[in-house]
């Protein structure tokens, strides 16, 4: 009988890699809490209508990529394809805005989209998401981008490329939309099928197209920055000033738009130079209409998402920062020694010491080999001689030096020696 393998596009995160992930997650919590953000944990499954209303019916995500099913109560449910809509749903459902006008939240966890799996892109993928709600101010936009930049540098991302843009608001975007449609109409036969369809549903999405046949056409398209109103222009200019104040390097990319319907004004994306074709590791923007569109008050917001798999593929973390080596291996010979070893092992574990024993009563030589294999820093040898004398040896595996310990105070002696080493 053949073994059952993971579903295509779903990836196991094995122990060594998981340790690296935990380190990065801890660093995110450290940085974000310093900036005043609190963690929220949101469900993996939501009502399908939440994403239809927030992301947009005509988006590729809703039309092609969502994992949607009908449950036994005939309700349409969806595995979350992104986190912002879920965070806003929780924000509204629990009236988080009532306790403070400004709410700062972040979430960590898996998302699901049925895309074509490729390097750095999976059907279950993980994200770190940040949302700041309650204020429309370019200083806040700069603060969120500064925090993202600081976090990425703190985990060792090199050569960060920050691209920013403004995609206007509900006042200035319609004239641009019409100008873009008029520009693309007579070139429709040269556009790919997706862009041809987007032309009548959401023409700004042509800028998301990766098809080479569309690239030349899009390069000549009108620039949205030539259409934004004075208020949006002032907002964008002040954002640039604030980023410059903090020494955050950026490039204005007038053709960079975010792929979801709810974005307004500021949009941004972070890419790196050494990640191949999938070089975007984070992106976000302002979404001043989203909260209201989901039935809440007229509340502005801004946020970003970091793709965990892509992030992990471009950073090289010093193993010493996340490694949790085995601190003690107890090599026990004989029934009485094994009994003592078992009790001692678990008492030490409860005091935070990573400890292992051998359960198979192997020879001392075999147990020492296992201690080496587990890369244990120290090994305690217990046998009949040690039990009779009331003394035992703790060997420091890398140097070969040994310390003699009294069995009557064995646990405390071990704690002292391990801390000193």
Say what percent of the chain tops pLDDT 90.
Answer: 67
pLDDT range class, residue 274, cuts 50, 70, 90: low
Same domain, 286 and 394: no
Domain final residue, candidates 313, 339, 354: 313
Mean pLDDT, range 43-54, rounded to an integer: 94
Same domain, 303 and 330: no
Give which of 378, 383, 345 is closest to 364, Cα–Cα: 383
Same domain, 344 and 255: no
**Is there a domain that residue 160 lies in?**
yes
Domain final residue, candidates 280, 313, 346: 313
Same domain, 283 and 333: no
Measured distance CA(62)–CA(120) in Å, rounded: 21
Give which of 14, 15, 11 is closest to 323, Cα–Cα: 15
Same domain, 331 and 297: no
Give which of 9, 23, 42, 6 is closest to 125, Cα–Cα: 9
Same domain, 130 and 42: yes
Token digits of residue 350: 């409860």
Same domain, 164 and 263: yes
**Is there a domain that residue 189 lies in?**
no
**Is there a domain that residue 22 lies in?**
yes
**Residue numbers of the domain that contains 256:** 15-172+228-313
Count of CB atoms situated within 10 Å of the CB of 295: 11
Provide the CATH number for the domain around residue 79. Answer: 3.30.930.10
Phi/psi-derived region of residue 355, left when phi > 0, alpha when psi is between -120 and 50, beta in every other case: beta
Cα angle: 251, vertex 24, 415; to 5 degrees: 150
Task: Tell me 246's DSSP state.
Answer: T
Mean pLDDT, range 344-357, rounded to an integer: 95
> Helix, strand or coil for residue 106?
strand
Mean pLDDT, range 372-386, rounded to an integer: 93
Residue 177 has pLDDT above 90, yes or no: no
Residue 256 has pLDDT above 90, yes or no: no
Measured distance CA(238)–CA(87) in Å, rounded: 28
The per-residue pLDDT for 191 is 82
Lowest-pLDDT range, 98-107, 145-154, 203-212, 328-337?
A: 203-212
Same domain, 63 and 116: yes
Token digits of residue 403: 């310390």
Give which of 269, 267, 265, 268 is closest to 233, Cα–Cα: 265
Mean pLDDT, range 220-242, rounded to an integer: 93
Provide the CATH number for the domain around residue 356. Answer: 3.40.50.800
The sign of the dihedral angle between the CA atoms of 243, 245, 250, 256 is positive
pTM comes to 0.88
Which range scores top for mean pLDDT: 55-69, 158-172, 246-260?
158-172
For the chain, how many structural domains are there in total?
2
**Is there a domain that residue 179 lies in?**
no
Mean pLDDT, range 314-327, rounded to an integer: 87
Residue 141 has pLDDT above 70, yes or no: yes
Token digits of residue 24: 């990065």
Token digits of residue 108: 């960590």
Residue 182 has pLDDT above 60, yes or no: yes
**Is there a domain that residue 203 lies in?**
no
**Is there a domain that residue 116 lies in?**
yes
Token digits of residue 309: 């798999």
Task: Tell me 360's DSSP state.
Answer: S
Same domain, 126 and 58: yes
**Is there a domain that residue 202 lies in?**
no
> Helix, strand or coil for residue 128?
strand
Token digits of residue 417: 């020696």
Same domain, 335 and 309: no
Domain final residue, candidates 263, 288, 313: 313
The per-residue pLDDT for 43 is 97
- 8 Å CB contact between 332 and 340: yes
**Is there a domain that residue 207 lies in?**
no
The DSSP bridge partners found for residue 231 are: none
Residue 420 phi, psi (nearest 5): -70, -30
Same domain, 162 and 278: yes
Residue 369 has pLDDT above 90, yes or no: yes
Separation of first and last alpha carbons in the chain: 49
- 8 Å CB contact between 85 and 289: no
Same domain, 261 and 382: no
């Amino acid at each position: 009988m053949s073994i059952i393998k993971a579903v295509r596009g779903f990836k196991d995160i094995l122990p060594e890699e998981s340790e690296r992930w935990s380190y990065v997650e801890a660093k995110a919590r450290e940085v974000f809490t310093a900036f005043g953000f609190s963690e929220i944990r949101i469900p993996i499954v939501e009502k399908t209508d939440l994403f239809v209303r927030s992301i947009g019916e005509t988006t590729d995500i809703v039309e092609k990529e969502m994992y949607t099913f009908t449950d036994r109560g005939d309700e349409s449910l969806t595995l979350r394809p992104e986190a912002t809509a879920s965070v806003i749903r929780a924000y509204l459902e629990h009236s988080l805005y009532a306790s403070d006008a400004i709410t700062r939240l972040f979430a960590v966890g898996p998302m699901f989209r049925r895309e074509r799996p490729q390097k750095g892109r999976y059907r279950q993928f993980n994200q770190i998401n940040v949302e700041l709600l309650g204020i429309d101010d370019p200083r806040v936009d700069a603060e969120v981008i500064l925090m993202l930049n600081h976090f990425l540098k703190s985990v060792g991302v090199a050569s960060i490329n920050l691209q920013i843009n403004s995609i206007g608001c509900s006042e200035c975007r319609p004239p641009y939309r019409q100008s873009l449609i008029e520009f693309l109409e007579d070139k429709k036969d040269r556009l790919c099928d997706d862009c041809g369809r987007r032309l009548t549903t959401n023409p700004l999405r042509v800028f998301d197209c990766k098809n080479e046949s569309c690239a030349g056409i899009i390069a000549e398209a009108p620039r949205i920055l030539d259409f934004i109103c004075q208020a949006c222009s002032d907002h964008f200019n002040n954002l640039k000033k604030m980023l410059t104040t903090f020494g955050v390097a950026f490039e204005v990319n007038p053709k960079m738009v975010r792929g979801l319907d709810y974005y307004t004004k500021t949009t941004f994306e972070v890419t790196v130079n050494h990640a191949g074709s999938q070089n975007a590791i984070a992106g976000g923007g302002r979404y001043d209409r989203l909260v209201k569109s989901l039935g809440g008050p007229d509340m502005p917001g801004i946020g970003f998402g970091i793709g965990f798999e892509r992030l992990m593929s471009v950073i090289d973390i010093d193993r010493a920062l996340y490694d949790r080596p085995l601190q003690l291996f107890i090599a026990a010979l004989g029934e009485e020694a094994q009994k003592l070893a078992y009790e001692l092992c678990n008492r030490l574990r409860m005091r935070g010491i990573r400890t292992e024993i051998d359960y198979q009563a192997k020879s001392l030589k075999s147990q020492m080999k296992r201690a080496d294999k587990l890369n244990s820093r120290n090994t305690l040898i217990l046998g009949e001689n040690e039990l009779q004398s009331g003394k035992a040896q703790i060997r420091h595996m890398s140097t070969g030096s040994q310390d003699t310990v009294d069995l009557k105070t064995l646990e405390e002696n071990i704690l002292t020696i391990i801390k000193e080493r």
